[in-house]
A and B are shown apart, each in its own frame.
Chain A
């Protein structure tokens, strides 16, 4: 059972369970997602975990972690609707399973504290050499991301669909802004994060309340009296569907369709929409997989996903360029059927079972336990786990039809081969 404590500048969440052989820590820093800070913030996650005053290089930090029986430390970035989240994650073996007695817990907490209190910086700037290496690494990471054609085409869909809105802001920053960031700029932004970001610390493992005092002793931040927006429903002013086609030298075309909805994590329709998505395209038993792949052999992958923090839905499929119109038509027809109330009650039961299974499984993985708890904590969602399940189970056929009717195609992004002529007919 989760227990929360308001400590110095952060909320500590204890999630004790005896079933894991490791202890996992996750410190999450929340600020608004903005175009001006997204590159800075991403670069910060690279630099933050690279060194401290006491361990002034990546090599020394890694050696320290190896000595702690392969303890892990990482920092990454993600979005939660209108918020941009830094996640500093650490996991290490429960001392019970080790041949020697070690105080891994205290050492890891101290290290996390050092990342913020004793960074490798002087005269108001991070170490120049580390910043230079990490700038190069981020740039190369963003370039390599473009080469993953699936990920690239989804990013492009967000960019076009969300142009001028939060939705259109890249969560991992912009390549052309990296060069101009100095070690001093980054350090100033870092101080701002320490002062302004809302912070939560999660601990999962075989632990007890004695840990609260250890956290109090070793981790503290300035008190922040802010709260930032997270989940929302994306509102598009677009009247006609925006269709963007890009050609590259490719074997397989990537079809991405973005839809507006009337549901988000915060709305009462959230449960019905979760079920609608499960029936429409969330699982391999869903309509899209059954019709587009199994019946028509058009693709290897096709699915829909519900982005509950932006209040939108996406459909992705990898197809032949010549099947563009046919795939779009099938995807649209399946949606229309649900909108018209053609829903098999036994499919609803099946989807409920699958969603329950996914939720219960999440309780067997430390990372997922933290992710679920965090979603709840930053949205102020009161629903406890059991309550959440109960609401899902009570969704009716009519509820599903109703939320489906709120779904509207907004933007299509089609990444296709050079041979595509755009005049395909069925």
Chain B
């Protein structure tokens, strides 16, 4: 077991790689009663074409299967994992994103049993044709819930505008049709391929003694056997540089209209440090433009075209990258025009160095605040981990970001690759 001390935030992180390839990170938090464990696999909704473990041909699985698998993971041969956690006084949950699936527990007692249960229920798949069938109605309702949510429709619609080929434009849960076409065998293939320990990471934070916790995890893993896994072969998606569509409008039974402008970024970085630095520089640029301290935000508020729901977003993953900005507005056409004018004028935009320093200070403070919450630490840690970065380094990297790095991010706002998605009342 290795120990890494982080001076800036005064935290000690413990690390060990298990013989089967599972990476384990532990963070004791003194004074906390809570312990939070997050077990993440590098498998998300975008991973729908790959070579299954032990096979040689690429297969295409139904959209939404990573999410379907997440739902079924809680079934165990001798009962239900949710109930077992409840009997330990703990709670559990899981979530699926475009790129990852994560399982968690939250407890204030029986920490050792909880960690073992988390490992055990995720490292064993128990399906029957009946249990797979039964889940379809439940997932169908989850999909319909999102169908009625205008924020989600606008957010996701603006991503779908951008991609012609990439599976990031497929809804995380799939559709009612793809869910209905999902079967036990395909779920098992996905499981065997993507839930190998070498493709996963466990993070436990809270009221723990690292030495004891690590030895429990080590013993648990030594008892299990896994087929040795070669590197997973996923389909390489060839995405054209152009966006799929320029604009789209959706009419819903709503009162408020909203707009998202999304920009496809074709300059995709792979080197972890460069990725992190660009993300942080972009955060600063977005603050300088769109935070409440920004002149532009104030101007647009006074013009009545935005309100506090306005925001922006920057996503970078292994093979896609995009920017989103927008929110509720009484006048989407005017806001659309203003956002396009901004993009056009952006290359000439300059900021005071004082504004830049202020934004940096603000972000340092926000990052320190993350360390108040075990849940937030775990979720940030695994988010950065799978792109090759350590969250605990982030404040130091932020300090390195220069004003020039921020200015360089202006170029990512490319008008040619911008699209809009508008939700209007019927």
Contact in complex: B34, A70 (CB < 8 Å):
no
Contact in complex: B141, A137 (CB < 8 Å):
no
Is residue A195 within 8 Å, beta carbon to beta carbon, of the partner chain? no
Chain B residue numbers with a CB within 8 Å of A62 are: 291-293
Taken together as a complex, chains A and B put the C-alpha atoms of A284 and B91 apart, in Å, by 9
Q: Which residue of A133, A147, A149, A294 contacts B302 across the interface (Cβ within 8 Å)?
A: A133
CB contact list, B86-123 vs A, under 8 A = 86-91, 106-109
Q: Tell me the nearest residue of chain B to A67, going by C-beta.
A: B358
Contact in complex: A71, B365 (CB < 8 Å):
yes
Chain A residue numbers with a CB within 8 Å of B32 are: 19, 364
Contact in complex: B308, A137 (CB < 8 Å):
yes
Contact A353-B82, Cβ < 8 Å, known A140-B307, A147-B255, A147-B256: no
Taken together as a complex, chains A and B put the C-alpha atoms of A140 and B305 apart, in Å, by 11
Binary per-residue interface labels of chain B (388-421) against chain A in the complex, 1 for a CB within 8 Å, 0 otherwise: 0000000000000000000000000000000000
A280 to chain B, nearest CB (A): 15
Taken together as a complex, chains A and B put the C-alpha atoms of A365 and B421 apart, in Å, by 37
Is residue B139 within 8 Å, beta carbon to beta carbon, of the partner chain? yes
B159 to chain A, nearest CB (A): 20
Is residue A283 within 8 Å, beta carbon to beta carbon, of the partner chain? yes
Is residue B165 within 8 Å, beta carbon to beta carbon, of the partner chain? no
Chain A residue numbers with a CB within 8 Å of B359 are: 66
Contact in complex: A300, B145 (CB < 8 Å):
yes
Contact A140-B364, Cβ < 8 Å, known A97-B9, A357-B90, A361-B34: no
B7 to chain A, nearest CB (A): 11
Count of A-B residue pairs with CB < 8 Å = 180
Taken together as a complex, chains A and B put the C-alpha atoms of A372 and B88 apart, in Å, by 24
Contact in complex: B141, A320 (CB < 8 Å):
yes
Contact in complex: A22, B369 (CB < 8 Å):
yes
Is residue A18 within 8 Å, beta carbon to beta carbon, of the partner chain? yes
Chain A residue numbers with a CB within 8 Å of B368 are: 21-22, 69, 93, 97
Contact in complex: A59, B33 (CB < 8 Å):
no
Contact in complex: B369, A21 (CB < 8 Å):
yes
Q: Name which of A63, A249, A356 has the most chain B CB atoms within 10 A of its CB.
A: A63
Contact in complex: B372, A20 (CB < 8 Å):
yes
Contact in complex: A251, B144 (CB < 8 Å):
yes
Contact in complex: B138, A353 (CB < 8 Å):
no
Chain B residue numbers with a CB within 8 Å of A92 are: 365
Contact in complex: A249, B147 (CB < 8 Å):
no
Contact in complex: A59, B293 (CB < 8 Å):
yes
CB contact list, A53-96 vs B, under 8 A = 57-59, 62-63, 65-71, 91-93
**Which of the 9-residue segments B47-55, B129-137, B238-246 touches chain A?**
B129-137
CB contact list, B288-306 vs A, under 8 A = 291-295, 297-298, 301-302, 304
Is residue A285 within 8 Å, beta carbon to beta carbon, of the partner chain? yes
Q: Which residue of B144, B364, B426 contacts A252 across the interface (Cβ within 8 Å)?
A: B144
A99 to chain B, nearest CB (A): 8
Contact in complex: A146, B255 (CB < 8 Å):
yes
Contact in complex: A66, B293 (CB < 8 Å):
yes
Chain A residue numbers with a CB within 8 Å of B29 are: 19
- Could you list which residues of chain A lie within 8 angstroms of chain B, going by C-beta atoms? 17-22, 57-59, 62-63, 65-71, 91-93, 97, 129, 133, 136-137, 140-141, 143-144, 146-149, 248-252, 283-285, 293-294, 297-301, 318-320, 346, 350, 353-354, 356-358, 360-361, 363-366
Between A and B, 18 residue pairs with Cβ closer than 8 Å are A20-B372, A22-B368, A65-B362, A70-B364, A93-B365, A129-B302, A144-B255, A249-B253, A250-B253, A251-B147, A252-B144, A300-B141, A353-B109, A354-B91, A360-B34, A363-B33, A365-B372, A365-B373
Known: A62-B292, A149-B148. 7 other contacts (CB 8 A): A146-B254, A285-B82, A297-B138, A298-B141, A318-B141, A350-B83, A363-B33
6 tightest A-B contacts by CB?
A: A70-B365, A19-B31, A69-B365, A297-B137, A353-B89, A70-B362
